[in-house]
Structure 1
C-alpha cells in the first residue's frame, strides 16, 4: 500500500533535505541569551505592538482581502519613489521567495545561487523541480563570483539569487560589482536581491536593489520585518520590483493572504522611526564591540555588514555550540548553509554581548 502511493510522489521532492530553522530557547533555570537566529536585540517595535493590540477585537472577521494598505504604507516608507503596484507582500520574506519561484519556475528550469547562503534558495527551488546551480562565494573572503555566475547562465536560467548583506557570512556586494553584473545579465532573467539586513549595512559602497528597479531592471528587492522591526513572530515580508513583474506575480496571490495582526504590526513598525534608529545604533555599536573582542581573543571572523558574525570557532562547531550553551549562549552552526565548520553569532544588546564575550573566554582552549 505504501509503495503504491509513493509511485505518484514527485521524484524531485523525495528524499531531499528540508530547511531547519534555528532552535528556540529551551526551558532552563538560568538566563539564556539567544544569539542564534538574528532577531532584533531590542525586541519588537512598540508602535507595532500597540497596533496589534488595537486590532485584537477584530480577529473574528477576515482581514484585508489584499495587501494594498501595507503596500501604500511601503510607498511612504520609500519616499514615494515606488508605486503601490510595485510591491509584493507575503507571510515572511521566505514566502515571497516561494511565490517568486512558483511564478517563474517550471520543472527543469535553472536557479543560480551562491553558497554559503540562505538555505531556502535551494530548498524551495527544489520543490518546483528546478535544476540548482551553485556558484560558491570566493574564498577566503566570501566575495561574489560574478564571472562564475555569468558564465553559468544558460537558456534555462530563470532566477538568480544574490544576497547583500549575505546570510550567514555578513559580506556584501559593492555597488561597482552590482553595476557591472546588472549591465551584463540577460534581460529575460529575474534577479532576486535579498536585502533583508540592509538597515545594518554602513559601507560607503553598499547598494540596495532600489536603483536597479528604478532603472527598469528585472530585479526584486527582498525584505523582511523580522530583523530591524522585531516582528519575527508575525512572519511578514515584502519585495519590490517593476510593476510588470509585480502585477504578474500577484496573479497567484491568495486572497486574505496576510493576517490582520501582521498587517497592522507592519504598518505600525514602518512608522516607528525611533525604534528603527535605536535598533541600528545598538547593532552597529555591538558589532564594533564584538569585533574588538574577537581580535583580542584571537578568534577568526569575517567583517560583517549585518547583525551577526560568522566565525571559525576555536573548537569543532558542534562541540563549540554545546559548550557555549552550557555558558548560557545560543549560537548557530551553519554547515547546513554551505559553510562547514563555521558558526554564526547574532549581535545582541549590551548585556548579551558582554555575556557572549565572557562565555567565549570560558570555552577557549
Structure 2
C-alpha cells in the first residue's frame, strides 16, 4: 500500500534549510546584535514617515503591481534604466525565488560558489535543479572563473555571482567580470547579487549595471534590508533587460507588495542624507574594526561589505557563546560553506567599541 510519502517530490526530501540569524534574547538587557548585517543606524526616517502616513489605509488592498516602486527605482538609477527593467519582491530572497521559478525545470543545473548565501542552493532544490558548487578559491575567496566555465553543461540555466559576497565580504574585480561576461554562453542567466553594493569602495568594484546596459542576460539583485534599514519590511528588487524582466513578471502575483513596504521603499530611496550617513558609519567602522583585528592578531578577510568574516581565536561555537556572554551577538557561518569561520556585522560606534572590548577580554589582552 502506498503511503502519503509516495506523493512527495523526491527533491524536497529534507536536507538543509536556511536559518536566519538569532533574535536578541529577551533575558538580556544589554546586547549588540552584530549577527544579521542590519543597518547600524536603524531605519530611514523618511521611510518610517511614509509608512505612518498610510497606516489608516491598510484595510484595503495595496497597489496591484509594483509599478510605483519601479518608477522610483528608475529615477534612483538616474534614468539609466526604464521602469519595466525592474522587478519588485518581498525581500531579495523572494526575488531569487521568482527568478528560479521562472527559469528552472527539474533536472536543470544551477552554479554557485561557496562560501555563499545559502538560499542559492536551498531554493534551487525546491524546483528539482541540480546544484553545482564551484568553490571560491583559497586563500582569498577569489572567483574561480575557469572552474565555473568548465562546470557549464547543456543543462546549466543559472549562475549566481555575488559582489560583495556574503559571508566573506570579498568582491569580484571589474577585470574578472569583464572576462567572465565575454566568455559565458548567451543562453545562461547570471544572477548578480549586489545587496551590499553601497558599502563597496574599491576602485575596481562594479555592479551589474554596465553589463545590463550592454544587453547581457544578467539580473542585478538588491535589497532594502541593509543600506535603507528596512529588514523588517521584507522588500527587495532586481534589475535586468526589459526582455527578461517582462518575462519574469508573468509569474508575479497581483498585490505582490504590502502598502507599507511600497511606501517605505519609495521614502527610503529619497532619503539621501540617511543613505550617506549609513555608508559613512559602515566604512569608518570597517576601518576601526580592521585595525583592532590587526592589533589583536585576529585573522580576517578585507571586506567591501558591512561585515567581516574571521578565523575566531576559539572554536566557532565556543567563541559565539563567549561573545554572547559579553553582550555581543555574532554569526557562525559553517552553514554558508565556511566551516570554522564567524561573521561579525559592523555596528555603530558604540557597538564597535563594545565588540573590541569583548574581544580583548576573551583573548586576555
Residue in structure 1 matched with residue 83 of structure 2 by the alignment: 84
* Structure 1: gaps spanning 5 or more residues: none
Alpha-carbon distance in structure 1 between the residues aligned to 2:318 and 2:24? 18
Residue in structure 2 matched with residue 105 of structure 1 by the alignment: 104
Residue in structure 2 matched with residue 305 of structure 1 by the alignment: 304
Q: Post-superposition shift, 1:30?
A: 2.9
DSSP-derived class of the 2:30 partner: coil
Alpha-carbon distance in structure 1 between the residues aligned to 2:256 and 2:29? 39
Residue in structure 1 matched with residue 153 of structure 2 by the alignment: 154
With the length of structure 2 as denominator, give the TM-score of the two structures. 0.99
Alpha-carbon distance in structure 1 between the residues aligned to 2:273 and 2:84? 28
DSSP-derived class of the 1:261 partner: helix
DSSP-derived class of the 2:10 partner: coil
- Taking the TM superposition and a 5 Å limit, the aligned residue runs for 1:20-169 are 20-169=19-168
Residue in structure 2 matched with residue 334 of structure 1 by the alignment: 333
Q: How big is each residue's C-alpha offset from its partner over 1:27-56, in whole Å with a ceiling of 9 and x where there is no partner? A: 124310000000000000000000000010
Residue in structure 2 matched with residue 361 of structure 1 by the alignment: 360
Q: How big is each residue's C-alpha offset from its partner over 1:67-107, in whole Å with a ceiling of 9 and x where there is no partner? A: 00000000000000000110000000000000000000000
Residue in structure 2 matched with residue 173 of structure 1 by the alignment: 172
Instruction: Provide runs of 4+ in structure 1 moved above 2 Å.
Output: none
State the number of aligned residues.
Answer: 364
With the length of structure 1 as denominator, give the TM-score of the two structures. 0.99
Alpha-carbon distance in structure 1 between the residues aligned to 2:27 and 2:218? 45
Alpha-carbon distance in structure 1 between the residues aligned to 2:112 and 2:307? 21
* CA RMSD, 1 decimal: 0.8
Residue in structure 2 matched with residue 293 of structure 1 by the alignment: 292
Alpha-carbon distance in structure 2 between the residues aligned to 1:245 and 1:267? 23
Residue in structure 1 matched with residue 280 of structure 2 by the alignment: 281
Alpha-carbon distance in structure 2 between the residues aligned to 1:73 and 1:28? 42
- Taking the TM superposition and a 5 Å limit, the aligned residue runs for 1:175-254 are 175-254=174-253
Q: How big is each residue's C-alpha offset from its partner over 1:182-217, in whole Å with a ceiling of 9 and x where there is no partner? A: 000000000000000000000000000000000000
Q: How big is each residue's C-alpha offset from its partner over 1:9-31, in whole Å with a ceiling of 9 and x where there is no partner? A: 11001121110000000012431
Q: Post-superposition shift, 1:364?
A: 1.4
Alpha-carbon distance in structure 2 between the residues aligned to 1:88 and 1:44? 23
Alpha-carbon distance in structure 2 between the residues aligned to 1:85 and 1:326? 49
DSSP-derived class of the 1:75 partner: helix
* Structure 2: gaps spanning 5 or more residues: none
Alpha-carbon distance in structure 1 between the residues aligned to 2:277 and 2:27? 30
Alpha-carbon distance in structure 1 between the residues aligned to 2:124 and 2:200? 28
DSSP-derived class of the 2:99 partner: helix
Alpha-carbon distance in structure 2 between the residues aligned to 1:15 and 1:269? 38
Alpha-carbon distance in structure 2 between the residues aligned to 1:28 and 1:359? 19
Alpha-carbon distance in structure 1 between the residues aligned to 2:87 and 2:70? 8
